[in-house]
Amino acid sequence: MTLAEKIGQLTLVNVGPGVLPGDLRAAVRAGKAGAVLDVVDVATVNELQRIAAHDSRLGIPLLVGRDVIHGFKTVLPIPLGQAAAWNPELVQQGARMAALEAAASGVNWTFAPMIDIARDPRWGRIAESFGEDPHLAAVLGVAAIRGFQGDGLSLPGAIAACAKHFVGYGASEGGRDYGYVGIPEVDLRNVYMPPFRAAADAGVATFMAAFSDVNGVPASGNRFLTRTVLRDEWRFPGFVVSDWDSIVDMVPAPVANDKARSPLSPGMEMVSTTYRDHLPGLLAAKRVDPRLLDDAVRNVLRVKMQLGLFERPVTDPAVYPGVASAANLALARELATQSLVLLQNRNGVLPLASKRLHSLAVIGPLADDAYEQLGTWAPDGDPALSRTPLQAIRETVGARVTVQHVRAMSTTRTMTTAGFSEAVAAASGSDAAVVFLGEESILSGESRSRASIDLPGNQMDLLRAVKRAGKPVIVVILAGRPLTIEPILADADAVLYAWHPGVMAGPAIADILFGVESPSGKLPVTFPRVVGQVPLYYAHRNMGKPASQASFLHIDDIAARTPQTGLKNASQYLDAGYAPLYEFGYGLSYTSYAYSGISVEPSRARAGLPITVRAVVKNVGQVAGDEVAQLYVRDLVGSVTRPVRELKGFQRIHLAGRKPGGFVSIVD
């Protein structure tokens, strides 16, 4: 290969919509482009692949990348919502479905899954994560990788996955996207790296470097991360791609004050052209080892060979199942249903008894918005496929129940009260009101950090106005992050957290509201009471003076001139305490479960063997439901301090409702 051809294999070109420019055709023909992204028209992809395979000197096909984050045409719940289902089998099935839909368009590489540990809800990209816990993120990340890559990369319908963003991106200071990340190595290795190690062990084809400056060295030029850890320690054989323009973004950092100093840490450069512009000169000046270049090219070619692109560069969409099929929509509905988390159900107001209802008010800006329910990073999603909550509620109750719909606010950010009187009238004339609140899809995702994570706009005032009608009020929240919702709890008889559930949001929500399904989602991330508690996560280390209910005294209850020694010293806030609003792993059901017979095999522990923990779980309620049994451990003595709790296992089990004798399951 010539030097230009080698650099070409490391060049990822953004195509975008529209007619292919002539210079791109020429670049592919000359072997100066090894991959393209954001082209999903199969005819266009095939034209590029024919040029690469038949008109270029070496005949090397292209990687075709796309952000297939939570579905392709059939949009699934956002990843944070999928994590709330705690169901790796469904996550794998969803990724497999998305891979098949994307592959039919010529896509052979996805920039997913994102397995960053996200412990700051101000960070917009928490929506793309699997939450705050390394074990849960690792299990679900591996499930997604297996779904995308199938039983083998060479098989039709498999697309290369990309574990991103390596590493620590979710710990950006202040939750500000692209910010500085300062993480001690003990936390890098114990918290942020485990999902990536699991991805590497599962055979993920590629990694993506984080945007962040990690401990003083940008991840795109961080030799410790991409060489010492990935190559030397983990023996990762795939390639690393930079994030969008991230090599250029190193320029403002003191470690890289000009483009020519970009080290060859990522194997492929996304969008920017520093390799093309500067590598020839750096090689000539012997400032870059040519063996690094050859290794990088080798890694890219290996992935292309594994994908079978040399044998099948062109896509025949006829060999793939259709998009948005009945089976795909059924899967989307099941995953959306399991992702819903019931946070509050005062006096058992849910499920609604549709046979006893005469009228129902459906209120709010997100009750009938086919676009917003898709969530962030759904570039190929089609709102025409969406079934909204309003549509599904009407289909569920039929003509026997009068459904009054009032949008009340044009968007979630509306500040006027012009529609409130109509909403109050609808609630007053109904047996109950279901109020859909939250945040629009544009308010979460990349570069969508928020300093305040309250409900935006005038939504709080809308809820208070509806509550004054005196009827039961059920709040359904669609959002891309945990919001600080404590202020709404007094005015909501029930709260159902729906994240952004995708195209089948409506049927899933209706099934929960009317008791067709019992809610089973569990939180994959901690909910703070106020934003000032952030970062707040369950697996924190204990303090020298840990907080407790006995130690807490609210700021308003402290007597004037209380001496400094008059309060108990503890690690807490005077105005917000120490406890979250809702803990990681929390979620209510329409039934109840009892645990008994918990046992551990101590002899195996003493022998240093894997330990089996066994428990008997029984449904002691009246209706069937899914329970997520969660296993936590704590290491009380170690060479370094350990968290107060660490998730080490979980199992979703279905249990029938209480019949004579009940129903019991044993979980290991």
Is the domain of 398 the same as that of 498?
A: yes
pLDDT attached to residue 666: 62
Look at residue 247 and tell me whether its pLDDT is greater than 60. Answer: yes
pLDDT band at residue 544, thresholds of 50, 70 and 90? confident
Evaluate whether residue 46 is within a structural domain. Answer: no
pLDDT attached to residue 19: 60
Looking at residue 598, which CATH number applies to its domain? 2.60.40.10
Evaluate whether residue 647 is within a structural domain. Answer: yes
Is the domain of 507 the same as that of 599?
A: no
pLDDT band at residue 568, thresholds of 50, 70 and 90? confident
- Residues 44 and 42: their CA atoms lie apart, in Å, by 5
pLDDT attached to residue 259: 47
- Within 10 angstroms of residue 241's Cβ, the number of other Cβ atoms is 28
Instruction: Tell me which residue range forms the domain holding 636.
Output: 593-667
Q: What is the pLDDT of residues 457-472, one digit of tens each?
A: 999 999 999 999 999 9
The pTM score is 0.96
Evaluate whether residue 122 is within a structural domain. Answer: no
Share of the chain above pLDDT 70, in %: 96
Q: Given the structure tokens 């100066």, which residue do they identify?
A: 32
Number of separate domains in the chain = 2
pLDDT attached to residue 553: 85
Look at residue 613 and tell me whether its pLDDT is greater than 60. Answer: yes
pLDDT band at residue 639, thresholds of 50, 70 and 90? confident
CA distances from 478 to 389, 420, 432, 440, 500 (A): 11, 20, 20, 8, 5
pLDDT attached to residue 253: 53
Look at residue 506 and tell me whether its pLDDT is greater than 80. Answer: yes
Is the domain of 348 the same as that of 467?
A: yes
- Residues 108 and 294: their CA atoms lie apart, in Å, by 23
Look at residue 37 and tell me whether its pLDDT is greater than 60. Answer: yes
pLDDT attached to residue 358: 96
Q: Decide which of 513, 536, 562 is a domain's last residue.
A: 513
Evaluate whether residue 413 is within a structural domain. Answer: yes
Evaluate whether residue 304 is within a structural domain. Answer: no
Looking at residue 344, which CATH number applies to its domain? 3.40.50.1700
Helix (H) or strand (E) holding 5: helix 3-9
Is the domain of 488 the same as that of 616?
A: no
Is the domain of 414 the same as that of 509?
A: yes
Evaluate whether residue 102 is within a structural domain. Answer: no
Evaluate whether residue 57 is within a structural domain. Answer: no
Is the domain of 494 the same as that of 357?
A: yes
Q: What is the pLDDT of residues 210-244, one digit of tens each?
A: 999 999 999 998 999 999 999 999 999 999 999 99
Q: What is the pLDDT of residues 407-430, one digit of tens each?
A: 999 999 999 999 999 999 999 999
Is the domain of 364 the same as that of 487?
A: yes
Catalytic center residues: 243
Closest CA to 208 of 183, 189, 181, 226: 226
Q: What is the pLDDT of residues 172-208, one digit of tens each?
A: 999 999 999 999 999 999 999 999 999 999 999 999 9
pLDDT attached to residue 660: 45
Q: What is the pLDDT of residues 145-160, one digit of tens each?
A: 999 999 999 999 999 9
Q: Decide which of 513, 540, 566 is a domain's last residue.
A: 513
Characterize the bridge pairing of strands 402-406 and 432-438. unpaired
- Residues 582 and 152: their CA atoms lie apart, in Å, by 40
pLDDT attached to residue 354: 83
Asked if 77 and 502 count as a contact pair (C-beta separation under 8 A), the reply is yes
pLDDT attached to residue 661: 42
Is the domain of 490 the same as that of 358?
A: yes
Euclidean distance between the first and the last CA atom of the chain, given in angstroms as a whole number: 54
What is the residue-wise DSSP string for 8-47? HHTEEEE--SSSPPHHHHHHHHTT--SEEES---HHHHHH
Is the domain of 498 the same as that of 370?
A: yes
Q: What is the pLDDT of residues 356-368, one digit of tens each?
A: 999 999 999 999 9
- Within 10 angstroms of residue 359's Cβ, the number of other Cβ atoms is 15
Evaluate whether residue 317 is within a structural domain. Answer: no
- Residues 479 and 500: their CA atoms lie apart, in Å, by 6
- Within 10 angstroms of residue 329's Cβ, the number of other Cβ atoms is 17
Is the domain of 508 the same as that of 645?
A: no
Considering the chain, what is the average pLDDT of its residues?
A: 93
- Residues 609 and 612: their CA atoms lie apart, in Å, by 9
pLDDT band at residue 605, thresholds of 50, 70 and 90? low
CB burial of 244-281 (b: ≥16 within 10 Å; e: otherwise) equals bbbbbbbeeeeebeebeebbbbbbbbbbbebbbebbee
Q: Decide which of 452, 485, 513 is a domain's last residue.
A: 513
pLDDT attached to residue 25: 93
